[in-house]
């Protein structure tokens, strides 16, 4: 978990947008102090997929410092949208 926020990405092996999403989230986590990016293989963690209602990959959850989901998006995000969504967590 990040000190201030965590970007959680659900991915699958053959998902091209997941690779681009990994780069975007990694860049944002590197830019914003206290933010961590965690990638989860959706196929390996079906328990979490079901519990969190993940229906497609990539799905990104923004967690605050306490681990609460404050934003959620499916599909490949734009860097500006990720930075804006982090505002809700910080």
Q: Decide: pTM greater than 0.85.
A: yes
DSSP H or E run through 80: helix 79-86
* Tens of pLDDT, residues 22-80: 999 999 999 999 999 999 999 999 999 999 999 999 999 999 999 999 999 999 999 99
How many folded domains does the chain comprise?
1
Which residues make Cβ contacts (< 8 Å) with residue 66, sequence separation at least 6? Answer: none
**Parallel/antiparallel/unpaired status of strands 59-64 and 35-41:** unpaired
Provide the CATH number for the domain around residue 60. Answer: 3.40.30.10
Are 75 and 11 within 8 A, CB to CB?
no
Task: Give the domain extent around 37.
Answer: 5-86
Token pair for residue 44? 């390996």
């Amino acid at each position: 978990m990040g000190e201030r926020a965590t970007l959680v990405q659900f991915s699958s092996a053959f998902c091209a947008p997941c690779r681009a999403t990994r780069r975007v989230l990694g860049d944002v986590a590197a830019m914003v102090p206290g933010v961590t990016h965690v990638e989860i293989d959706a196929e390996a963690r079906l328990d979490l997929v079901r519990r969190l209602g993940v229906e497609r990959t990539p799905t990104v959850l923004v967690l605050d410092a306490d681990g609460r989901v404050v934003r959620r998006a499916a599909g490949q995000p734009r860097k500006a949208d990720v930075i804006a969504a982090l505002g809700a967590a910080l």
